[in-house]
Structure 1
Amino acid sequence: MGLFDAISGAASERAAKKNAAVLGATSTQANNAINGGYTNAVNALTDANAPSAITALGQGYDRARSDLGSQYGQTQGFLGQLQGLYAPMVQGGGNAYNAYLDAAGANGAEGSARATSAFRAGPGYEFQQQQGLDAIQRLAASRGNLAGGNTTVDLLKYSQGLADQSFQQYTTNLGNAANSYATGLAGQAAGLTGQAGASQAFGSSLSALGTGLGSGQANIYGQAAGLLGQQGQSLAGVQTSLGSSLMANNNALAQSQNQASANFLGGLLGVGNLLASPVGQNGATGTVGGTAANWLTNLFK
């Protein structure tokens, strides 16, 4: 570095340019580091095409929904089996209940005719009637009165009494059998109620899963937004720091140049005064003035 650089401030200007270049490169590196770091952080939260918080949340939701649906299907299957167990009671009890209504006369003349036909077709009644009639006839024959009117009356009374007594028992039996109809219906109703409850619980659980998924996604995107906000603040901080450093660098350059200008002007004034002095006017003879002139000439080499 020549003496002219010190006086003109050229060295300070070159240093300032180097400083500015270093500050710019540092700013670029800082910006790249901040952008890269926040980009990675946001991707770790929201990238749907790579392992991230949002994909993990979705996978957890899918697994929970699948497990919940599987459990719901098993529950519905068990409750359906429970209804199936009551099906024979419902069918048999329903038949007995309808026959009971026929026998009680609740279904009109057609119902009564069906009840009479069903009653007389019963194997127990027919056997009992035949055994009683045979016994009366044998007794009458032993008395020699088989064809008498009394025997006929006895046969009619027996048949009528047996019919009345047996039909009453028949009706009672139908009523007892009809009770199984109510039991079967109650059992199937319990199964249907269980299925309805399971469906409601399934819907509630799905709703809770959906709400949880939405809340989780909102939270993740909220975190991502927060990170982006922090990224902007960090970049602004870097730019602010860079601006301050460049301002300080420019101020230092200006100060150095001002000082150099002052030094240069002071030097010129000092040399001028020296040359203007009587001693300086004898420069040709090698006096002090001549030496100063030579110094000034060498200054700008």
Structure 2
Amino acid sequence: MSKVDLIIGGYERGGTTLLSEIFRANGFESGFECGVLLADEPAKMPETGPYWEMLLAGWRIEPETRAEAAAGDFDHFYNTLCTAAFPDHTGRFFDKTPRYMAQLGLCLHRYSAIKSAVIIHRDPRAVFLSMATRMLPNIPPAKAVTKKFKALTERYLDYFTGCIAHQDAENVLFVPLEELVSREDVWMKTLGYFVTGKPFHKRDGRSRFDNVGKKGMDLERIMGFESQLPASLQAEILDATRLASPFFADATERARYGDTWAEAQHRILALLAKYERPRSLVLEDGTFFEPFTYLLRYADVRRAGRDPVEHYQKSGKREGRLPH
């Protein structure tokens, strides 16, 4: 059986492809993106956005194989997909999908065979710059960021909120892209020990994907926002995303903007202790619920000092609030 027991998530254009190539160089295999864990079950995958269509080219499979994969449970899906795409591979497989970062707990819950997750994150200024110039390639970078500022802020915080409850989990490793590039030797050991119990070796050879060079990305390129965005716009980005300060590249800036996250985390942990709630649980009706994420996502519930489970059951669900 083709075993998939690791997922990789992160910001789009935030290093997930580079991370995937490191895993490929150390005995793992995968297609470009999958996304099946964003669906309640494989049969519902066509409802989750572009991933259903992307499977054909990303995994180099035929429509018939895709249909067969979706006809069973997650075990059947991954086994069918991996066997068809990589019939000669005898090592382990992983599922790399950036969006998993925004729904990390739910994705891990949906398929119990997934033993671990690696989340690669990146400074918001770099993500804003990369995404904005991709969306609006024909105007100056700073202007593109300004035009897309609100959407980029919401997206960045959504991904942060959806994963940070697992920052201390033994089966989740958070990897700062800036450190992966600048301290490669250290992170090859960390990544390797996390998933295999021994250090990874550096990759050599060209990636099958154009956006990853032979030797990966250099730090100057990773920190390109410093020269392409004015200081005032950089400060505006950091202020708008200050809740996500643990993901800022510079320690000084993490400290300068860290009050919002520190206060929110302290309040959340106090409320979880008060109401004796774990970070994640399953409600009686089968709903996967993350009290930590719920309190982080909904500041009004947090400030009111409410029991997150009780609030969701009595009013949050009716109001359309997300349980995770």
- Classify the TM-score, shorter chain: under 0.3
Larger RCO: Structure 1 or Structure 2 (Cα < 8 Å, ≥ 6 residues apart)?
1
- The TM-score with structure 1 as length reference comes to 0.13
Instruction: Choose 1 or 2 for highest CA Rg.
Output: 1
- The TM-score, its normalising length taken from structure 2, stands at 0.13
Higher helix content, 1 or 2: 1
